[in-house]
Amino acid sequence: MRRFALIATILAVLGGVPAPAHAGIGATLVKGGLAFPTAFAFVPNGTRIFYLERFSGEIRLLNLTNGNDTLFYTVPNIVSDGERGLLGITLHPDYPTRPYVYVYATRSVTGAKNQLIRLTNSGRTGTGFKALASFTSVSGYHNGGAIRVGPDRRLYALVGDGHNSANAQTLDNNLGKVCG
């Protein structure tokens, strides 16, 4: 029955088919009026959300208990044409003991580069900016950006194909790949 409810809910979202009442899925507005949010990550205790504003380079921290929305860090030199900008965020698996925030961003660094960046949460402010990896952004489109920590506790980034699907079929570059 769960499988049916999930499929019906997906169809409702995609095609207008009404979801059954027993689906148990709803929506609640947490924060409105955002410029262009692209990704978010909950802190483990669920009281705060880190979220990205794609064009401004802002990483923001929303406190769900009192509604305070504060600037955590502004990533410099953001390139935001096409599908570029701040694209992905995740937290270290031992957060907050290891207070690292990882971000995938397109930046102007000797040309446009997609970078995997690490920041340290120091009193709800980002410090210690460090670029961990850079991938050439060959196109304004298909830059990827999803980042996650795998079951092996390694950090993985989905690097887009640069608007050329053939890139995903060759080992000659890192475009269209999962990099870890």
pLDDT digit string (tens) for 68-80? Answer: 999 999 999 999 8
17 and 46 within one domain: no
40 and 20 within one domain: no
pLDDT over 50 at 149, yes or no: yes
pLDDT over 50 at 3, yes or no: no
Q: Give the domain range for residue 150.
A: 33-179
The more confidently predicted of residues 82 and 24 is 82
pLDDT over 70 at 12, yes or no: no
User: What gap in Å lies between CA 111 and CA 123, rounded to an integer?
Assistant: 33
162 and 133 within one domain: yes
pTM: 0.81
Q: How confident is the model at residue 21 (pLDDT cuts 50, 70, 90)?
A: low
Question: 152-161, long-range: CB within 8 Å, 24+ apart, which pairs?
Answer: 153/93, 154/180, 155/90, 155/102, 155/116, 155/180, 156/180, 157/88, 157/104, 157/116, 157/133, 158/88, 159/114, 159/135, 160/83, 160/114
42 and 21 within one domain: no
pLDDT at 120: 98
Query: b or e along 110-127 (b: 16 or more beta carbons within 10 Å of the residue's beta carbon)?
Result: eebbbbbbbbbbeeeebe
| Total domains present in the chain | 2
7 and 62 within one domain: no
pLDDT at 167: 66
79 and 1 within one domain: no
69 and 124 within one domain: yes
